[in-house]
Amino acid sequence: MIYLGCPLSKESSFELVTSSPEETVELGRTIAGYLMKGDVISLSGQLGAGKTVFSKGIAIGLGIDDNIISPTFIILRTYQGRLPLYHFDAYRINNTEEFEEIGYKEFLYGGGVSLIEWGEKIQKILPEDILEISFYYQDKLNERKIIFKEYGSKWKDRRKEWEKSLQP
Ligand SMILES: Nc1ncnc2c1ncn2[C@@H]1O[C@H](COP(=O)(O)OP(=O)(O)OP(=O)(O)O)[C@@H](O)[C@H]1O
Ligand SMILES: [Mg+2]
């Protein structure tokens, strides 16, 4: 994993590159150690770039033994670990009403950690304080650029703390 720091000196974001799915799982595992109840993470970026792989790492880090699979067809899967994990996939959501129908608020404002693949599709109904993690292909087959950006004040100090643990 290569830590790239803050692009364009944007204080609210930092980037890194992983070179294999295993490294992305490991990144998720590390970050899971810092997560707290009520955290909402939006996973965005390119199709097939690594959101579910990263989610597996988060689950492992939360002590969840189940095999994490993409919740695409059912929108939400829940797991129980150190904290409950609510794994959403908004890919097939056509409008925010569909998301409202599944009672998403109970989860997002509940006692666990929410991971929302394709969160950008429902951005307007997400809480103000979210961490957005975006995944992009690179020239090399197994490389992915991963960009962390926080919205709202809640994440700032916390993100700085674990950003340090990712630096060389
Ligand atoms: N560095 C890497 N990090 C993550 N995945 C990688 C990496 N290199 C290769 N891969 C491969 O890329 C694919 C990522 O698939 P994954 O299902 O996680 O993507 P996704 O973003 O969830 O897709 P979707 O947009 O369909 O939800 C996997 O097949 C994985 O093995
Ligand atoms: Mg996925």
Structure tokens that stand for 62 in this block: 């939360």
Cβ–ligand 1 contact at 149 (below 6 Å): no
Closest ligand, as measured to the CA of 56: 1
pTM to 2 decimals?
A: 0.94
Q: Whose CA is nearest to atom 25 of ligand 1?
A: 47
Statement: 2-166 belongs to CATH 3.40.718.10: no
pLDDT digits (tens, 9 = 90+) for 36-59: 999 999 999 999 999 999 999 999
Give 48's contacts (C-beta < 8 A, 6+ positions apart): none
pLDDT over 90, % of the chain: 68
Instruction: Please count the CA atoms within 13 angstroms of the CA of 105 that sit on its side-chain side.
Output: 5
pLDDT digits (tens, 9 = 90+) for 104-149: 999 999 999 999 999 999 999 999 999 999 999 999 999 999 999 9
Rounded CA separation 112/121 (Å): 22
H or E segment to which residue 155 belongs: helix 154-166
Cβ–ligand 1 contact at 21 (below 6 Å): yes
- CB of 27 closer than 8 Å to CB of 159: no
Ligand 1, atom nearest to 142 Cα = 8
Give 94's contacts (C-beta < 8 A, 6+ positions apart): none
Helix, strand or coil, per DSSP, at residue 18: strand
The predicted model gives 79-89 an average pLDDT of 97
Domain residue limits, the chain: 2-166
Q: Ligand 1 center to residue 53 CA distance, Å?
A: 6
